Amino acid sequence: MSILILEEVTKVYEGKVAHLAINQLSFEVEKGEFIAVMGPSGSGKTTLLNIISTIDRPTSGEITISGLKPAELPKNDLSLFRRRELGFVFQDFNLLPALTVEENMVLPLTLDGQSVEVMKAKVQRIAEHLNLTSILEKRPSEISGGQAQRTAIGRALIHEPSIILADEPTGNLDSKAAKDVLEILSKVNKVSETTIMMVTHDPIAASYCDRVLFIKDGEYFNEIYKDDRRQTFFQRILNVLSLLGGNVNDLSTIRLS
């Protein structure tokens, strides 16, 4: 069953000079899939994520998430839809510095007015999965980057969303913390069957996924599925990236271990 369907989605940024950022892009994501989106700088990855996350609207084309078309929802229903169906993980964590790890994680629930008992129980369960139990009382300035990103993943999961949208979730982490975060995302994907879509420049991060979708100049370029070991998948990802071209600086963040 497809949980996300894009049908001929186009995004044009209007301005002095109009810019075609996404051009007639169509693809589907299955429920429970862990998919990466890769492409050179400027190929439209962030635009795509913004459109799927309902932060921005497509110029034309249709998007269906969990059987609903967000573009057709009234504003109030759209905020609720975003809070219930989607979880967000960003490169720079986006934690509130004045709140503890626990308070950051429950923030989406407090907006929903849930009882303290329900919130505590949910936090405990997720904190155990994400290995955060011992740091629940700490503030973002007192924890490592990897712990901060795991907290952000916990916040994204607290609503049990249908899809987690992650924008370069390992971009600010060293290789050890990045590996931890990718293993956590894989576990979340496998254990709770949460669908995850991750934009990344890093072929190692992409190799944790089931499928990598490559875009170029806002258009579909290629896609490959993992059907073997992660190391072999990583090599195949590198092969497509070399065909894809782009600025060599785009690959400057690649870690080769």
The encoded tokens of residue 52 equal 């799927």
Q: Pick between residue 50 and residue 194 the one whose CB is nearest to ligand ATP.
A: 50
| Footprint (CB under 6 A) of ligand ATP, residues 182-201 | none
**Helix, strand or coil for residue 107?**
helix
The encoded tokens of residue 111 equal 């907006």
CA 91 to chain centre: 10
Minimum CB distance to ligand ATP, residue 137 (Å): 35
Do 213 and 183 form a contact (C-beta atoms < 8 A)?
no
Contact status: 154 vs ligand ATP (CB under 6 A): no
β partners of residue 86: 163
d(CA 200, CA 181): 13
Q: Pick between residue 180 and residue 214 the one whose CB is nearest to ligand ATP.
A: 214
| Footprint (CB under 6 A) of ligand ATP, residues 1-60 | 13, 15, 19, 21, 39, 41-47
Contact status: 146 vs ligand ATP (CB under 6 A): no
Strand order in the sheet with 195-199: 86-89, 163-167, 195-199, 34-38, 211-216, 219-225
Contact status: 232 vs ligand ATP (CB under 6 A): no
Instruction: Pinpoint the alpha helices (H) of the chain.
Output: 45-52, 75-85, 101-111, 116-129, 145-157, 175-191, 203-206, 230-244
Name 98's Cβ contacts closer than 8 Å, sequence gap at least 6: 139
Q: Pick between residue 42 and residue 145 the one whose CB is nearest to ligand ATP.
A: 42
Minimum CB distance to ligand ATP, residue 11 (Å): 8
Minimum CB distance to ligand ATP, residue 249 (Å): 10
Q: Pick between residue 14 and residue 117 the one whose CB is nearest to ligand ATP.
A: 14
Number of residues forming the site for ligand ATP (CB under 6 A) = 12
Q: Pick between residue 43 and residue 195 the one whose CB is nearest to ligand ATP.
A: 43
Q: Which residues bind ligand ATP (CB under 6 A)?
A: 13, 15, 19, 21, 39, 41-47
